[in-house]
Amino acid sequence: MRMYDIIMKKRNGRELSKEEIHFFVDGYTRGEIPDYQASALMMAIYFQKMSQQETSALTMAMARSGDILDLSAIRGIKVDKHSTGGVGDKTSLALTPMVAACGIPVAKMSGRGLGHTGGTIDKLESFPGFTTALTTEQFIDNVNKIGIAIMGQTADLAPADKKLYALRDVTATVDNLSLIASSIMSKKLAAGADAIVLDVKTGSGAFMKDEKDARALAEEMVRIGKSAGRKTIAVISDMDQPLGCAVGNALEVKEAIDTLKGHGPEDFVELCLTLGSQMLLAGGRAQTEESARRMLQEAIDTGSALKKLAEFVEAQGGDSRAVYDTGLLPKARLVQPIPAPAGGYVSRIVCDEVGICSLMLGGGRETKESEIDLSVGLVLCKKVGDRVEAGEPLAMLHANDPGKAAQAEERFLAACSISGTMPNKSPMIKAILP
């Protein structure tokens, strides 16, 4: 078998066999197939797409490219959660402690930023000293002791996805249904949880801009999860404007902490309660959605979710004092308002553009090797549907470089529309696929 023939076959729109997909995944994981050939195949898949059989074969090959975790040493039904990626998507930071505080063991594998979207691991590194480089023993031990652990993708877990994820990030090959489904589900299957709750985003900040495509992605991932014997649920949620207000690593950590203190933005709290209830139902901790929501709200009201976050940060080497004093998180030197050019209602915020503004400020990667600046980003003062007066701040910009700040401000203003009439707000939750 030759990689050249596989690339050409896909480029010409033909279906790859299971053997060809395994040849590529194994060879690429071992470093025998170079990045340039893998990039060419990703681009061919992007344009020619994959069948369900090809997507399943790619998922299983990537899941088996390393170890499959055995979590049987963790008591209870282990529930994992994963988002298809969005702007301001700090959900895991607030949701996992909420769910863990309700008694669901959370054993989660997370990723870094991808394209215009942020990643949980980058955000968590805002806590000085925090690491996701845990051994399997530490990972299992932490879940048993405190109910929550998050690890990064090690060389042993779905290493094929780790390499392909970084490659797709810089070759404009992220937003393809089969590549997203296989990337997410290979990690989730390798990470060994019993139940998986997927947050599938749709709108201008999502990889799937169109709701129909998001539904197709959700159905594909649920099909793969169920056929692998895992209880799998997908929630389709809105990403047509940034989630909550904060976009940028440390800024999002602060917003997640504020949410656990009971001061979260309405859309973000709604998403956490919806995903959290699905996790409690899947884990057998609640029988109805109402009781699950009550338990989660109680975890916020009593402070137990905030305490859980502090325990989790501490257990993974981080300075948990920042949980109680967010002034200790990384801070940008320049914090300046972006004034509204006119008065009216905010009628649109092109969401991926806001993600790109954060990237331009240094909050994301331009190349695989880029170092990111955890302190930069934007905090929206107005969301879609809000009234704004001319000159009032639309957002606060957090930057370390005045040149980059000016560019990001210009791009942000181009992404916002203000109109004389109040726009319709789209609901946060579009559908739940059991």
Catalytic machinery residues = 82, 161, 168, 183, 187
Do residues 316 and 134 touch, judged by C-beta distance below 8 A?
yes
Residue nearest to ligand URA as judged by C-beta position:
183
The DSSP output letter for 359 is I
Residue 364 binds ligand URA, judged by CB under 6 A? no
Residues 6+ away with beta carbon under 8 Å from 76: 103, 104, 105, 283
166 vs 418 by CB, closer to ligand URA: 166
Task: Provide the phi-psi class of 362: left if phi over 0, else alpha when psi is between -120 and 50, else beta.
Answer: left
According to CB under 6 A, which residues from 162 to 181 bind ligand URA?
165, 174, 179-180
Residue 111 binds ligand URA, judged by CB under 6 A? yes
Residue 114 binds ligand URA, judged by CB under 6 A? yes
Print the binding letters for residues 128-167 with ligand URA: x by CB under 6 A, - otherwise.
Answer: -------------------------------------x--
Do residues 405 and 209 touch, judged by C-beta distance below 8 A?
no
111 vs 205 by CB, closer to ligand URA: 111
- Among 183, 232, 237, 375, contact with ligand URA (rule: CB under 6 A): 183
Residue 338 binds ligand URA, judged by CB under 6 A? no
Residue 84 binds ligand URA, judged by CB under 6 A? yes
Pairwise CA distance, residues 293 & 296, whole Å:
5
Min dist CB 85 to ligand URA, Å, is: 4
Do residues 290 and 274 touch, judged by C-beta distance below 8 A?
no
Pairwise CA distance, residues 80 & 282, whole Å:
10
Pairwise CA distance, residues 5 & 20, whole Å:
10
Number of C-beta neighbours around residue 396 at 10 A:
17
Do residues 392 and 340 touch, judged by C-beta distance below 8 A?
yes
Min dist CB 38 to ligand URA, Å, is: 14
Pairwise CA distance, residues 400 & 171, whole Å:
27
Residue 110 binds ligand URA, judged by CB under 6 A? no
- Among 184, 236, 332, 384, contact with ligand URA (rule: CB under 6 A): 184
22 vs 108 by CB, closer to ligand URA: 108
Q: Which residues bind ligand URA (CB under 6 A)?
A: 84-85, 111, 114, 165, 174, 179-180, 183-184
